[in-house]
Structure 1
């Protein structure tokens, strides 16, 4: 009669600490998602965990830390179809994931596209099913940022809130990015510059349009035409058709997003306009869409993955130390020059 194989020995925190060459307390902080551990020590512990096959007792950890080991990524005021069609959101997911996954933190996606789903998410958060939320809110009148602040739920916003709120946020310097675009077009000798803005009920749409007009004025110019889009490819195409009607002699267009610029390019091709000879084009984002344009798109790069990683980092710090002061970070953009301008 064959003997049953002996059960594998249980790997303890002490075993991991011995392999990593650190203290048990350091291993415990890494396992519990404490953001205060230095990156080098964290990496050593994570390698030791992989080498030893250590599996944390999540139930015990939850009792000690009073956390669930999970966070939510909530996207507000957009449908699922819009979210998955826009490369911006994929980049946000990538940046958040690369921060939380090595720490054993699970990520839940929440799509908030109406009032019932907003209330459902708030109840879910208040009941402690996740430890906090990274929020991508797209409209200025979205009540969710204020609701999160009132509920004292750990939260970090993608972008500055429309109204001052006691909540951390991460954003790109929108004004600086638009200035880079306008300065580049002016340096090319373009003087009849139009713009296809984002929707003006979004902070990004409004701020980029205001910054565009301010920078033109700085150069002693006024816009040749303006048309409002909606940050989609179809919206960019519609805005470009409007601009061709309003300013047929425009020699450049600043488009408020790469996805809109892709739609604008298709309209210009059909209209027989050469890019950049007849009309120079600059976008905003530097997503993978910029490389699928014909010609490849000159655009303002916002480091979305790095910004999203910072949002997740700030949220984990807030969860680990609730008494910590709220923090915000503004990233600097850069102009990526390709063939469209």
Structure 2
């Protein structure tokens, strides 16, 4: 519903504020308290006012674009938003740093309609979340992918990371592996912590050793994967679950340097389903992140938030999928 002079006056009266304040709220300008903004937003919803979507900027904050999975996910979200006249801006940042805040603060007056935290600072526990406080103060809606901000109520769309571990452990167990290790991301990273919880739960469900020594935590890259896998190989694992495809490639390197072979001696499972996996040897079995489904949900939520429609703040969990290739085989003692 468009808003005219008469409606503007009615909303100002209902919210007990000036017409200028209503205008500032509609255009997401600074200088309006949280309580006043909430009162005006509620009045806008009562009259059925929806903000126009055309030619509005949507800021997507992502850790980097070197990892093809983030580039692929950003592209999918862009495909969902563009038909609605929304223009995504992709900003690679190091999560939780001043650069993340700088992007938001420098672009907010250019007409940011919403922000998407694409595995950015929303994935980090106990970090400086001032960027969210700033967004909240301006009334800019936002949605998070793969973890949210516990101190704020806002929509979150995530891969079911507990299910990721269940699928990987289940597959290795079916192949006869009884000594299974996890290459996990850093402590305090929400997806990493969830996968550790799911991993240990999956081991216990099958009566396997779930001791902490079977979890090695490093960064989500090749070097981190190699270091973590080297540790686990010394502890006698025959099956490795990696928390990213890059970590899995690091595990390949660690297995080779231990004079072992994938999958004859050690089976390896990755996570993400990066486009390159069919071109390495052996092709990597992986748990596929449901990028298309995530993008569909994010697109629906973002357009609803911008239009001023109510959206649930409950986290949406989307099931991953196991993609079988050639990096897993029967356990050595079963082959």
Which category of TM-score, normalised to the shorter sequence, fits these structures?
Answer: 0.7 to 0.9
Question: Paired residue for 1:132?
Answer: 114
Distance 1:338 1:291 in 2: 8
Mapped pair 1:281 → 2:262? no
Distance 1:250 1:292 in 2: 26
Contact 2:54 2:84 in 1 (8 A): no
Question: Paired residue for 1:220?
Answer: 207
Structure 1 residues 241 and 103: CA distance shift in structure 2, 3 A: same
- What is the CA-CA distance between 1:329 and the residue it aligns to? 2.4
- What is the CA-CA distance between 1:282 and the residue it aligns to? 1.2
TM-score (norm 1): 0.72
What SS does the aligned partner of 1:296 have?
coil
What SS does the aligned partner of 1:199 have?
coil
Which runs of 5 or more residues in structure 1 are unaligned?
1-63
Which runs of 5 or more residues in structure 2 are unaligned?
1-50, 329-335
| Stretch of structure 1 that moved more, 117-126 or 193-202 | 117-126
Number of aligned pairs?
A: 270
Distance 2:287 2:309 in 1: 36
Distance 1:147 1:322 in 2: 21
- What is the CA-CA distance between 1:221 and the residue it aligns to? 0.9
Following superposition of structure 1 onto structure 2, how do residues 166-185 of structure 1 map, counting pairs within 5 Å?
166-185=153-172
- What is the CA-CA distance between 1:115 and the residue it aligns to? 4.1
What SS does the aligned partner of 2:65 have?
helix
Mapped pair 1:244 → 2:233? yes
- What is the CA-CA distance between 1:69 and the residue it aligns to? 1.8
Structure 1 residues 210 and 151: CA distance shift in structure 2, 3 A: farther
Structure 1 residues 324 and 302: CA distance shift in structure 2, 3 A: closer
Contact 1:196 1:229 in 2 (8 A): yes
Structure 1 residues 314 and 266: CA distance shift in structure 2, 3 A: same
Distance 1:147 1:213 in 2: 38
TM-score (norm 2): 0.73
Contact 1:258 1:289 in 2 (8 A): no
| Stretch of structure 1 that moved more, 186-195 or 146-155 | 146-155
Question: Paired residue for 2:185?
Answer: 198
Question: Paired residue for 2:86?
Answer: 105
Q: Structure 1, residues 206-236: CA drift from partner, whole Å, max 9, x if none? A: 1111211111011111146321121111211
**Cα RMSD after superposing both structures:** 2.3
Question: Paired residue for 2:65?
Answer: 84
What SS does the aligned partner of 1:84 have?
coil
Distance 1:257 1:156 in 2: 23
Contact 2:263 2:327 in 1 (8 A): yes
Question: Paired residue for 2:196?
Answer: 209
Distance 1:162 1:324 in 2: 16
Mapped pair 1:258 → 2:228? no
Distance 2:197 2:137 in 1: 30
Question: Paired residue for 1:306?
Answer: 293
Structure 1 residues 150 and 209: CA distance shift in structure 2, 3 A: farther
- What is the CA-CA distance between 1:116 and the residue it aligns to? 3.2
Following superposition of structure 1 onto structure 2, how do residues 153-172 of structure 1 map, counting pairs within 5 Å?
153-161=140-148, 163=150, 165-172=152-159
